Structure 1
């Protein structure tokens, strides 16, 4: 599977961090926003979420715009909690795998995310493993809201390849969203699509028997 691979780019949510989009959708439904699933999902989202995930707006502005555009009657804390409801846990076995891979590969993290989620998953990481950020597990971390680009646009993939002098054909990209995998394939990267039910510890980087 790892044929001539020297560099590995990991997605975060759904690959390393366990997430459940339905939990956030239900949390917003419980707040009265019944159309949330139409606004945001794993496969698509509206312009508001795009701007949030590319850092064009910050957390407070995102919350204000979401409330204004939908008529949602909720506090900032309630919206933050509902938005973070999808973030679950970071299994320690996956972090151990990342540490082992660092010894043999150049490793990178590429995530469509935002400042509210970054604060939340850093708290999860600190509570579970004692680390302040995911940066300790990678050569470099690329969060969409920091670099102003997001998947599935090809620009963010090209940025990683060019900034780090990576050869596309020697780079493996692992993601759980098919539209992101499609872009990486088109650019010549090796890819693994993590289908529902698959995990990196059970299906990709299994311990040798």
Structure 2
């Protein structure tokens, strides 16, 4: 951490526990035959990419999913299945963020969408009594709000430019290798977080 003044965190798999297979199972249970082909973490269908970059509104996303679903599946079922991947915020990770913020500027950079944003903030409020994840960061950057998603270089550059950050003084942590490589290409220090390690291991005192 020598020379590091700013830390950019990924969300899913880093701060928030997620399981993509739960969403795949939920859509399969609803009657979608080929959800694994429509969406995966690394090869998203344009529909999901457009949702994550704000080019598709929530209602349009639900409508676009309808041809793949039986007529009995309503909007709430679609949204519930889409949110099934979102699990929990381990309290130790949230406490770590609070501790780190006393010494570093903290930012969040997440490939996400408006449906998930509302859902994971609801999880945080229900389980921890905190209404928004934004309270842990100097600023949060969500792909559907900024119009870019990792590993697009613009997603990182927006944070650097808006906050006058020097790349060499900035650490980025993500669980997806292409995202980490894209940050490094801009001169940002980066860590590829791989299970079973968590952010607690990164900042554990020697």
Which of the five TM-score ranges fits, normalised by the shorter chain?
over 0.9
CA deviation map 1:57-97 (0-9, x unaligned)? 211110101223x3554211111111000000001111110
Q: For residue 133 of structure 2, what is the aligned residue in structure 1?
A: 134
Matches of 2:155 and 2:117, distance apart in 1: 18
TM-score with structure 2 length normalisation?
Answer: 0.96
Compute the displacement of 1:205 (Å).
Answer: 1.7
Say whether the 8 Å CA contact 1:42–1:177 is kept in structure 2. Answer: no
CA shift at 1:151, angstroms? 0.8
SS of residue in 1 equivalent to 2:182: helix
Confirm whether residue 204 of structure 1 aligns to residue 205 of structure 2: no
SS in structure 1 opposite 2:109?
Answer: strand
Structure 1 CA distance for aligned equivalents of residues 157 and 98 of structure 2? 25
RMSD over equivalenced CA pairs, Å: 1.2
Deviation of 1:154 after TM superposition, in Å, equals 0.4
Alpha-carbon distance in 2 for matches of 1:192, 1:72: 43
Instruction: Tell me the secondary structure at the aligned position of residue 85 of structure 1.
Output: helix
- For residues 190 and 101 of structure 2, what CA distance do their matches in structure 1 show? 19
TM-score (norm 1): 0.94
Indicate yes or no: 2:21 matched with 1:22.
yes
Say yes or no: does 1:59 pair with 2:58. Answer: yes
- Who is 1:31 aligned against? 30
